[in-house]
Amino acid sequence: MLRRVTAAPHPAPTLFISNGTAEDLIGARLAGLLPGKIRYSPLVGEGRAYAAAEANRVGRVLHLPSGGFPFGSLNNLKADLRAGLIGDSLGQWSDAVRGARGTGAVVVVGDAYALMVGSVAARLNHLPLIHVQPLLSAQYLDGLNLRGALQELNALGANLPMPYELRLARGADAVFVRDAATQRYYQRRGVPARFAGSFAMDVLDRPERELNLPPGRPVLALLPGSREDHRESLPVMLRAAALLPGVTALVAWPHDWEAVRLPDGWTLEIRSDAEALATGEGASIHLLRGAFGAVARAADIAIGTSGTANEQLAGLGIPVVAFATSGPQYTEGFARRQGRLLGAALRVVGADPVVLAAEVRSTLGNGSKRAWAALDGLTRIGPAGALPVIAAEIERLARDKKDARR
């Protein structure tokens, strides 16, 4: 007797909602672990990271002058409002609701705002909601006094979850947070949150290529970041590196070569799409594109004005020296918050090449200081391993919801 063979049903698509460069990257890596098609709704920018997951974008694109930090400063907020923040943002809500139709689950990677959008999309479409919160950490509260809290009123929701965010999180089917301290903080407030590993370390690439570095010299990673802060910070970093002749400095450059801003009197030689050489003040410093993993893993110390990159270096046990910019991201308030997050792994100093070079020199020459930095970085960031756990949970929830409908 012939039996009819029924083909296994294809899994329903999954909708990702994310709002930031790092959030897009985490979402894209997570999407790559899931079967079935992927849709994504980027609330800030174009969500280019999802291209690697062969995902389909739903909804409009919102380009913000602040790069997604409207409350980083009053100027950021004014610029974003002029760019259509309110009207386009409201449109994205309806885009997300429509994009969730026919999917198996809604995955939010981002902050409270992204969670609001995702909660509406999931509820109106009767879908499981998974929240991946890579931004908040209970460690932001370490050493935060009343004066500090008043200085950072504009970033209150970046220091700790607001009551409305906790209420939304309680309504999610699964919540994953960035560290063990935050898991405890959420659970004490009735949110069944899980820490399964560090998202930042999950998205840190392995070395992309050999760097062929000179032996016996410490390596200084320069991390100007993916935001527009690099226009201000890269020249300062290069001048600091020029004051460290016994150190090999490498710039992990995430932008086009046209975006490079050099100190006065410096020149840039573009050698290929992947490498350029900045020369000035007696120094020659390589800028490398598409080699962040290689630079990060080769470094002995870093100077950074970046969010995720600074945390990834700290998570590797590498001390990071930082300085505030005028924004849009790495402002004085952001630097203070990251300092509380990373503890001894991050040292924030003035935006002065001489001061930066002195701090690098001091750290490299002090074994005890490097050991404390490594300990704090490794323990506060934690190991990789979250994304496979989250992917399995998304599949389970989508399957359970589908079975319940039968």
Angstrom distance (rounded) from CA 269 to CA 257: 10
CB atoms within 10 A of CB 25: 24
User: What's phi and psi for 14, nearest 5 deg?
Assistant: -120, 135
DSSP-derived secondary structure letter, 256 = -
User: What's phi and psi for 209, nearest 5 deg?
Assistant: -165, 165
Which residues face 17 on adjacent strands? 41, 108
- What SS3 state is found at 319? coil
Q: What is the pLDDT along the chain (406 residues), one digit of tens a residue?
A: 444 444 446 789 999 999 888 899 999 999 999 998 999 999 888 888 998 888 999 877 776 665 555 555 566 666 666 655 555 667 777 888 999 999 999 999 999 999 999 999 999 999 999 999 999 999 988 776 556 554 555 556 667 788 999 999 999 999 999 999 999 999 999 999 999 999 999 999 999 999 989 999 999 999 999 889 999 999 999 999 999 999 999 999 999 999 999 999 999 999 999 999 999 999 999 999 999 999 999 999 999 999 999 999 999 999 999 999 998 889 998 999 999 999 999 999 999 999 999 999 999 999 999 999 999 999 999 999 999 999 999 999 999 877 776 6
CB 195 within 8 A of CB 178: yes
- What SS3 state is found at 351? coil
The alpha carbon torsion through 25, 30, 35, 39 (nearest 10 deg) reads -50
Task: Kindly list the distances between the CA atom of residue 277 and the CA atoms of 274, 288, 303, 305, 315, in Å, as whole numbers in the listed order.
Answer: 11, 9, 18, 21, 28
Angstrom distance (rounded) from CA 162 to CA 159: 9
Query: What pLDDT sits at residue 131?
Result: 98
Topology match between the domains 14-203+384-405 and 219-381? yes
- Report which of 142, 154, 144 is spatially closest to residue 327, judged by C-alpha positions: 154
- What SS3 state is found at 285? strand
Q: Which uninterrupted H or E stretch holds 240?
A: helix 230-242
For the four alpha carbons of 387, 391, 396 and 398, in that order, the dihedral sign comes to: positive
The alpha carbon torsion through 184, 44, 224, 288 (nearest 10 deg) reads 110
Query: What pLDDT sits at residue 2?
Result: 42
* CA 6 distance to own-chain centroid: 43
CB 237 within 8 A of CB 303: yes
Angstrom distance (rounded) from CA 64 to CA 84: 8
CB 345 within 8 A of CB 320: yes
CB 339 within 8 A of CB 355: no
- What SS3 state is found at 380? helix
- Report which of 297, 315, 304, 379 is spatially closest to residue 347, judged by C-alpha positions: 304
Task: Kindly list the distances between the CA atom of residue 361 and the CA atoms of 100, 335, 343, in Å, as whole numbers in the listed order.
Answer: 52, 21, 19
* CATH code given to domain 219-381: 3.40.50.2000
Domain ranges of the chain: 14-203+384-405, 219-381
User: What's phi and psi for 38, nearest 5 deg?
Assistant: -120, 135
CB atoms within 10 A of CB 13: 21
Angstrom distance (rounded) from CA 335 to CA 327: 11
Angstrom distance (rounded) from CA 88 to CA 82: 11
Q: Which CATH architecture has domain 14-203+384-405?
A: 3-Layer(aba) Sandwich (3.40)
